[in-house]
Amino acid sequence: MIEMDDQQAAARAWFEALRTRICTSFEAIEREAGSDAAFTYAPWDRVDPSGEPGGGGVRGVMKGRVFEKVGVNVSTVGGTFEGDFARSIRGAGDDPRFFATGISLVAHMANPHAPAVHMNCRFLRTTTQWFGGGADLNPPLPVEGDTADFHAAMKAACDAHDATYYPRFKEWADEYFYIPHRQVHRGAGGIFFDHLEGGFDADFAFVRDVGEAFLAIYPAIVRRRMDDGFTEADVAAMRAWRGRYAEFNLVYDRGTLFGLKTGGNIDAILMSLPPVATWE
């Protein structure tokens, strides 16, 4: 176990509590569908390049009737960044010591009309400290009303803190979740933010509201769509779309790179990949 001060411990505790509430919510949806699917949890430990304990986390995965594959991970790691990677991280160029704690979630759905989703929230400390994260909807077959409701929930969370947040963070998501070699966006967008350094209490309150907004809106959208009828053509479209999703996460996603460069658990890092995808 790595040592933590009160701020670090508070962030970690909330991310872990949010994980528990999200997993409980998703398992309840499986029960409504007549499934007894449940999350399985695999703890993992990290060894820092110095040889000292470097924290770790818990990988949670469920494969069910509604959620074809959903992963909800929490991790708390610390130690030192290696080599050149330190210079790519805010505040770590001259001092490679770091601390990071967060939650990361990706859900791939069995019904092509039920949108996949990504959400993460994190707290990092180097020679400075900040929060980052966001949530974005990834429907293989977009439904305008679902997209509008998801964005409305994210906007409400943002507006409660700063009227500039939603337009800024929506634009950031549109720019970030883009696949240049395909010239398409990964999904229907949402919000993405990083390097929030306005003060721990205010920024932590905002991150908590993002998590609460996600927990309120996404299960509601899943319940709308999980019983929709679909065709083989719909499934084929979903699997082709998943190929694009996998390309983004393997080639461009900063979270994937961070996990690999800091010696994270490989199964937890790659849990975002869909269970079945196709390429023509």
Which amino acid type is present at position 3?
E
Between CA 227 and CA 107 the distance in angstroms is 17
- 185 in catalytic set: no
State the alpha helices, DSSP H only, in the chain: 6-32, 144-159, 165-176, 200-225, 232-251, 254-261, 266-269
Please name the residue that has the structure tokens 């949108």. Answer: 115
Asked if residue 169 lies in contact with residue 182, where contact means CB atoms within 8 angstroms, the answer is no
Q: Three-state SS across 194-222? A: EEECCCHHHHHHHHHHHHHHHHHHHHHHH
Residue 36 CB burial class (10 angstroms; 0-12, 13-18, ≥19)? exposed
Strand partners, 118: 106, 136
Q: Which two tokens stand for residue 157?
A: 């969370």
Tokens of 267: 């199964």
CA distance 269 to 20: 19
C-beta atoms surrounding 52 within 10 Å: 11
Nearest-angstrom CA–CA distance, 216 and 187: 20
- Annotated active-site residue in 118, 151, 161, 185: 118
Which residues does the annotation mark as catalytic? 118
